[in-house]
Amino acid sequence: MGDPEGSHYFIAGFCDMTEIPKAYEPARVEQKWYRFWMEHGYFTPKIDHKKKPFVIIMPPPNVTGELHLGHALTATLEDIMIRWHRMRGEPTLWLPGVDHAAIATQVVVEQKLAEQGLDRHKLGREKFIERVWEWVQKSRQSITYQHQRLGASCDWTRERFTLDEGPCLAVRTAFVRLYNKGLIYRGERIVNWCPRCQTALSDLEVQHKDITGNLYYLRYPMAEGDGYVTVATTRPETYLGDTAVAVNPGDKRFKAMVGKKVILPVIERVIPVIADSAVDPSFGTGAVKITPGHDPVDFEISERQHLQIVKILNPDATMNEQAGPYAGLERFACRQKVLADFEKAGLLEKIEQHHHSVGHCGRCQTMVEPEVSKQWFVKMAPLAEPAIKAVTGGRIAIVPERFTKVYLNWMENIRDWCISRQLWWGHRIPVWYCQKCNELTVAIDEPSTCSHCGSKDIVQDPDTLDTWFSSALWPHSTLGWPEDTEDFKYFYPTSVMETGYDILFFWVARMIMMGLEDTGDIPFHTVYLHGLIRDEKGEKMSKMKGNVLNPNDAIEDYGTDALRFAITTGTSPGNDINLGPHRLEAGRNFANKMWNAARFVLQSLETNPIESGALAKLTPKRSESIEDRWILSRLNRLIASVDELMSNFQFGEAERQIHDFFWGEFCDWYIEIAKIRLSRSDFSPLPVLAFVLETTLRLLHPFMPFITEELWQGLKQRLPEGSVGSDSIIIAPFPVDDKKATDPDAEQVMDSVIEIIRSIRNARAEHKVAASKWIEARVYADKFQTDIAAKSEAIETLAKARPLAVLDRSQRRAKEEKALVLVLKEAEVVLPWESMVDLAAERQRLEGEINAVEREIDRLEQRLKDKPFVARAPAAVVDKERSKLQTFKDKLLRLKQELGQIG
């Protein structure tokens, strides 16, 4: 892991220490085990044709730099699935990779160059690409290192880069196949043009921002006679590209105008007034300017009406020669000049404020210009059809299910995809133009001659492909397609595609379409969409707000397992996660709790080794003590529940349940009771302690891989030979539930015992009984009396209650002496007041509290009688006051009862 010197880990680290460290130190443990797993080749699956593999292709992070929390979430969720399936004995492949991220990477490198006063044009294409490769090498190393720190158990021997030879061949092959089927075409269309990046963008790469701008009303004088037509526009400079004014054919106001001509001021171009049903008569004046070179709707009208197309911008958004006297001006400077000229001529009718949505480049935030441009497109409708069927027919499931509708809605309205980019960094388009016959040669391998006339004078298209084109092929290109490799045959289709819901269209939908198109089969069976990570208050993390949490820092401060726990536990698919220090602390606390509990078990095993075969013999049977039967039964229920939750992709809930079991039932109850048994020569709880610990570690391993391995290895060393069958927890079998272990009787008895202890503890806390003080207690029970009596010592010790008597309910006197009576599900607990409190002081305390509660009740009743308040206040506020009142009334009743008991 980034440290070539340290390849000699030693596995015996934990076990050789006579003293187990007091606290969990993630840094000491994590790297050691990651190396151990790597060196044993656990991440590389063995192809076994008798078994069905489990496969996840990792969404390749962009080679633009550091991983963020979104990547950490992706890696953690995928690692949970992978480790779980690996432990179930399935050949499990998690294939990692990185994306060249065409535009994103090019923008980053261009920014670096700008710092040195350079740009890509000064460097030239070849030198520029060299610079990008240098950047990519560094970036890839850091991404790999970060994935390894996160504990990602992916198969590094199969790592892929989108610009590797295999994926490149796949890209060219897919392009040529689509072209030959007529599904790729080159055409003049309106595209989104980023003047900074100087490339076309697909619709998905444009971010729409709502802004308050202006609507300018411009007058175009009639070519013949007096008068003018007024048109409204948000971009007045585009009048330079107008080739018509259009009105709706049904609009009576303009009936006489249609067929006449108007003059564009300053440049004096004469253009016709036409009628077209696409015109919305309610916008502006009802007459609209038509700028086919710079507006998608106008472009369509121009195709119908055979209008001329005039492009007025250079690639950098300065005005070109078509702008006449405005040529050379920057687009916004031109706007000001145009407005000034119209105003001078009395042709600027009015300016209105106008809210509208304006497209910006998703990479550099520059305002994009819609403009007509010759680009390569993919015809999407024929590709979408089978991809829709794959989902509606149930071959691909989307988790959570609600995104199915979102997917189908987008697919049913899909538009052609502009795939060419005027970028240097990316997959070059496999098209060559013949200088002699002007025909195209489209080929997988670089041709030396024109396929039409044989001329050697051919030039490759300078453009590259949209980065998502190679991403769309990722599940099959990484496995070797178009070659029919062993990997492709065995691992394709893959099992789960796990990614953020924000790239459902960019990526997931296109993978389904291209997978089906290229291979004839779906790329994966399940799409699992996770939510976004937000800050503690639910706000989006951003550098601007300064609320970004860096995964590396979190790992340094809390440990990897704590971070993994924090971003996944208690979460559900598709829902956003609010992450802050609290969750990370909870993760760290849980790791410490595990450490301490395990340390106790391990140390106990050192002093009292258990006999060989003790764990195997642990089948639940009547003769064992009731808490043994109980914890084994509860553990078994947990295993069954975890299995069901994991199968339904509810990993966060599974993790929460394991956490609650470990912390509550195991640590707070079972271990505490076991300590009493260990202190005496009772029959040993150690086999059960070791069994439950070992099983829970395996359940937790997919979620918290490092600490579980460390503790599991320590436990293994202290158990008799052969107690656990594998060399690492990573390949130990995932626990399977055993119906025979369910023991409802033991569960009921222990529920009662726990309830008794809890109720006495609560009573002590409420009446402020000193922790060291022993108090007297009598427990009256019915059917479980004998079983509860058998646990007297545990109740005594854990509730600090002595003398304690467990009696039959029939022996309960109708009127107890002065005592606090707690009525529970299966028992009644009687706590004589005088053993608990100083009666006079308690009486005074209760009277004081009764007074205070009565005053509150009075205040609330007055408030709720106040008609104007009840009428005016929101219903929720009134309800809250009413429920407060009820709570106080209940409390009053209880306090009065207690006062009565004291007498």
Chain residues that interact with Zn ion, rule: CB under 5 A: 194, 196-197, 361, 363-364, 366, 434, 436-437, 439, 450, 452-453, 455
Closer residue to Zn ion (CB): 537 or 543: 543
Angle at 122 between CA 121 and CA 125, to 5 degrees: 50
Quote the least distance from Cβ 193 to Zn ion, whole Å: 9
- Residue 631 has what DSSP assignment? H
Burial class (CB in 10 A: 0-12, 13-18, 19+), 92: buried
- Please give the helix or strand (H or E) that residue 354 lies within, else none: strand 348-361
d(C-alpha 245, C-alpha 591), whole Å:
71
Closer residue to Zn ion (CB): 104 or 473: 104
Quote the least distance from Cβ 195 to Zn ion, whole Å: 8
Quote the least distance from Cβ 198 to Zn ion, whole Å: 8
* Torsion 478-481-486-491 (CA) sign: positive
Closer residue to Zn ion (CB): 369 or 627: 369
Locate 380 and state its tokens.
């999407």
Closer residue to Zn ion (CB): 361 or 566: 361
Quote the least distance from Cβ 545 to Zn ion, whole Å: 23
Q: Let me know: does 396 contact 512? Beta carbons within 8 Å.
A: yes
Closer residue to Zn ion (CB): 439 or 751: 439
Closer residue to Zn ion (CB): 191 or 279: 191
- Residue 481 has what DSSP assignment? T
Helix/strand/coil for 643: helix
Q: Residue 365 region, left (φ>0) first, then alpha (ψ -120 to 50), else beta?
A: left
Per-residue CA distances from 305 to 223, 253, 277, 787, 882 (Å): 20, 21, 11, 92, 70
Beta strand pairing status for 261-264 and 244-247?
unpaired
Cβ contacts of 35 within 8 Å, gap of 6 or more? 1, 6, 7, 9
Closer residue to Zn ion (CB): 11 or 419: 419
Quote the least distance from Cβ 300 to Zn ion, whole Å: 26
Nearest alpha-carbon partner for 33 in 159, 155, 153: 153
Question: Which amino acid, one-letter code, is at 457?
Answer: D
Quote the least distance from Cβ 292 to Zn ion, whole Å: 24
Closer residue to Zn ion (CB): 366 or 578: 366
d(C-alpha 734, C-alpha 80), whole Å:
12
Closer residue to Zn ion (CB): 205 or 517: 205
Closer residue to Zn ion (CB): 101 or 479: 101
Quote the least distance from Cβ 91 to Zn ion, whole Å: 44
Helix/strand/coil for 100: coil
Quote the least distance from Cβ 297 to Zn ion, whole Å: 23
Closer residue to Zn ion (CB): 25 or 330: 330
d(C-alpha 218, C-alpha 228), whole Å:
10
Quote the least distance from Cβ 30 to Zn ion, whole Å: 40
- Length of the chain equals 903
Closer residue to Zn ion (CB): 62 or 148: 62
Quote the least distance from Cβ 203 to Zn ion, whole Å: 15
User: Which string of b and e fits 66-80 if b means at least 16 CB within 10 Å?
Assistant: ebbbbbbbbbbbbbb
Q: Which 3-state string (H, E, C) describes 521-559?
A: CCCEEEEEEECCEEECCCCECCCCCCCCCCHHHHHHHHC
CB atoms within 10 A of CB 879: 11
Quote the least distance from Cβ 727 to Zn ion, whole Å: 52
Quote the least distance from Cβ 194 to Zn ion, whole Å: 3
